[in-house]
A and B are shown apart, each in its own frame.
Chain A
């Protein structure tokens, strides 16, 4: 038997009638019942590898983190020990400064307890005048 499709071609009228039948069949294609669809849907949910709550499926976003979390993530717990020690020493120097610190401040600022205008030397107070 030949495999040449042309050998089996229908005449134009017959072909058109068959095409019309196909078109009707496509239009009246069998459709699944709601019960059947519900069964398939239940099966799909039962087979789902892991399930998230309906409506809550969103792409993962980075969690908001505070400074503490950021620091921990960046440098770990050990860095917090050093930071705490530095804070304690700094606080102690502020309350009871050693002589060396007092003389250094006096050399620079002319006073061991600097006032604000001395520190903000770049600030032109004339700008505040009317």
Chain B
């Protein structure tokens, strides 16, 4: 079947075709879903190498789940978010149990001291780094909720399903997460290009 004929197919349809042996479906699913898994993993772990391991593991689980997939029971993207999130949390817990930090917070640069260079506006990339650093410092569940809501654009009910909590709990976590982010970023307000006026 030509590749472009499949491009409009849903994730569930592609997964069915994958299970039936269509290599085109394998390619399309890889290109469609891997970026999503990697993006979430990078934001939760703040480490590209670790995130690649998690994304690869999550995708492997998807391939293995394909033959028995029941489209009426789960949305493929929600399932993949859930698996990726759980794998990230496992890593964070493992590292914490070993006495280290899931993300080596000590290795993350401290916010720059306000000084002569403080009025130099950071580039967009630097602002992204500041946000990633501030996200990494959030409590785990707040980081998950804020990432899924504001960076992945998921709805509160979807996040509730992924995190296995109530919608109200999601609202509370995202609100607290945003408040903590604002506090963390306040010290770098000038660096981020925002004036106090």
Contact = CB atoms under 8 A, between A and B. Distances in A.
B166 to A, nearest CB: 10
A5 B151 CA distance: 19
A32 B36 CA distance: 9
Interface string A101-119: 0000000000000000000
Given A37-B34, A44-B18, A49 B66 contact: yes
Contact of A49 (B21, B38, B178): B21
Nearest to A46: B63
Given A25-B128, A26-B151, A32-B38, A48 B178 contact: no
Given A5-B171, A32-B34, A57-B24, A24 B128 contact: yes
Given A30-B42, A48-B26, A52-B23, A4 B125 contact: no
A45 interface: yes
Contacts of B174: 5
Interface string A22-49: 1011101111100011011101110111
- What band does the interface of chain A fall in when counting residues whose beta carbon is under 8 Å from B? 35 or more
A10 interface: yes
Interface stretch (A12-20, A67-75, A92-100): A12-20
B34 A58 contact: no
Secondary structure type dominating chain A contacts: helix
A43 B178 contact: no
B179 A57 contact: no
B59 interface: yes
B168 interface: yes
B34 A48 contact: no
Interface string B42-84: 1100001001100110011001101100000000000000000
B22 A21 contact: no
A7 B178 CA distance: 12
B59 to A, nearest CB: 5
Nearest to B179: A8
| Pairs of residues from A and B, 9 with the lowest C-beta to C-beta distance, nearest first | A5-B175, A47-B63, A8-B175, A57-B22, A44-B26, A8-B179, A3-B172, A30-B42, A50-B21
Interface of B: 1-2, 17-24, 26-27, 29-31, 34-35, 38-39, 42-43, 48, 51-52, 55-56, 59-60, 63-64, 66-67, 124-125, 127-128, 130-132, 150-151, 153, 168-169, 171-172, 174-176, 178-179, 181-182, 185, 192, 194
